[in-house]
Amino acid sequence: MQLLIGNKNYSSWSMRPWVLMRHFGIPFEEVMVRFDAMSADSHFKQRVLQVSPAGRVPVLIDDDLVVWDTLAIAEYLAERFPHHALWPRDMQQRARARSLCAEMHSGFAALRSHCPQNLEASLPDVGARILADQPTVQADLQRVGRMWTDALAASGGPYLFGAFGIVDAFYAPVAGRIRTYGLPLPGEAAAYVTRVFENPAVAAWVAEAMAEAEFLDFEEPYRTSRT
């Protein structure tokens, strides 16, 4: 299989299936399509449109099958590799995990918009200003904190449904935003962020993101350089 992704430092959507497949040892070839712009005539768009009508990453290619959209990719992998517990084995827990993923997939617009992924950066002052000025970001953060706290209490941890799975891969970019912008969370939810970043697959993605020596101004609303 091939997995088309964007820059690791900036592409939160690409991070999800990459981390998931790496964690479970699902073999794949990484195809990096670096961001140059998001316009229709950009190299990025033209390259991705060769394989996906959506023109976005990530894209999973398995022989002649092309799967785009992170949730569709996750569901395909769960069916393709049923011996891996990508979803919880229990039906009710699986339904709850899917609910959390769907909420992440379609919600938290304020948090994603005002706090874009930027794993290399440390912007706690920006985060404090955003929380002071943007009540919708406050609401998103409070929802994340409650969601994580409740899931961890129900499962006993260390991950949201006990073992690392799709739902944790989906929220790994949120954990990254919380670290980048220094956003406060209640104790157990904050500890979960630390555990996510200690996961070997997440740590590998972050290390490679940190090694990228690219500064893309259209992905950087708060800085004019990396320094």
Report the CATH number at residue 43.
3.40.30.10
Q: What is the pLDDT of residue 169?
A: 98
DSSP 3: E
Residue 202 and residue 135 in one domain: yes
- Asked if 40 contacts 91 with a C-beta cutoff of 8 angstroms, the reply is no
CA dist., res. 63 & res. 183, Å (int): 42
Question: What is the rounded distance in angstroms from the CA atom of residue 118 to the CA atom of residue 33?
Answer: 17
- Distance, CA of 164 to CA of 88 (rounded, Å): 9
State the 10-residue block means of pLDDT for the chain, 227 residues long: 98 98 98 93 95 96 97 98 98 98 95 98 98 98 98 97 98 98 97 98 98 94 91
In a domain, 40, yes or no: yes
* pLDDT attached to residue 38: 86
* Contacts (Cβ under 8 Å, ≥6 apart) of 173: 12, 13, 15, 16, 117
Q: Is the dihedral of CA 66, 31, 44, 220 positive or negative?
A: positive
Type of residue found at 21? M
Q: Are residues 118 and 32 in the same domain?
A: no
Q: How many domains, the chain?
A: 2
For residue 213, the model assigns a pLDDT of 87
180 shares a domain with 98: yes
Judgement on whether residues 32 and 129 belong to the same structural domain of the protein? no
In this structure, are 76 and 14 located in the same domain? yes
Q: How far apart are CA 98 and CA 201, in angstroms?
A: 21
Site of tokens 């320094």: 227
Residues 167 and 100 in one domain: yes
Rounded CA separation 109/123 (Å): 19
Within-domain flag for 221: no
